[in-house]
Amino acid sequence: MNKALGRMAFLVLLGVVLLGSGTGLTLPTHLTITGEDSGKTFSVAVGQRFTVDLHIEENLQVITPEFDPSILALLGQRLKSIAGPQGVSVQATYEFVVRKEGQTDLTIFIKGSRDKLGQAKPYLKVKIVASPGQEI
């Protein structure tokens, strides 16, 4: 009998988790921002981590992201060359954590790799709005 109650409790708990939106519960999800998100605003909680994942065309160079370091902290970055049928591209991945409440623009610039004097252009620009949470 105890085994049956345990299974029933597990199934009820599983149902609550899977149908959480109907009960006001939300499951934490990992935010990934891509190049298609440029121009959007993202609401995040203090302490939340998120990823920026960009696929940059051949012959373009990624410039260091710009943001307010009092709001966001850059935890790491990876640049990976990918060879494909259309040529070589770069996958640029950045990991961030939200440090404190506030808002900042997060902009990642690119420029032509052969264009030494040319102006860098924004490739991704999003607004990050950080709500209260656990300050880091």
Confidence of residue 135 (pLDDT cuts 50, 70, 90): low
Q: Which two three-digit tokens encode residue 89?
A: 């591209």
Which spans in 1-136 are helix H?
2-18, 20-23
Cα separation of 43 and 30, whole Å? 12
Q: What is the mean pLDDT of the chain?
A: 80
Contact 97, 130 (CB under 8 A): no
Indicate whether 85 pLDDT > 70.
yes
Pairing label, strands 102-112, 41-45: unpaired
pLDDT tens for residues 24-68? 444 457 899 999 999 999 999 999 999 999 998 877 888 889 999
User: What is the pTM (predicted TM-score) of this model?
Assistant: 0.72
Looking at residue 116, its pLDDT comes to 62
Asked if 120 contacts 109 with a C-beta cutoff of 8 angstroms, the reply is: yes
What integer pLDDT is reported at residue 9 of this predicted model?
A: 47
Which domains, ranges and CATH numbers included, belong to the chain?
28-131 (2.60.40.2020)
Q: How far apart are CA 80 and CA 91, in angstroms?
A: 5
| Cα angle: 36, vertex 40, 74; to 5 degrees | 85
Window from 15-24, 38-47, 89-98 with minimum mean pLDDT: 15-24
Give residues with Cβ within 8 angstroms of 51, minimum separation 6: 30, 31, 32, 33, 93, 94, 95, 96
Structure confidence by residue, pLDDT tens digits, 105-125 = 999 998 876 666 678 889 999
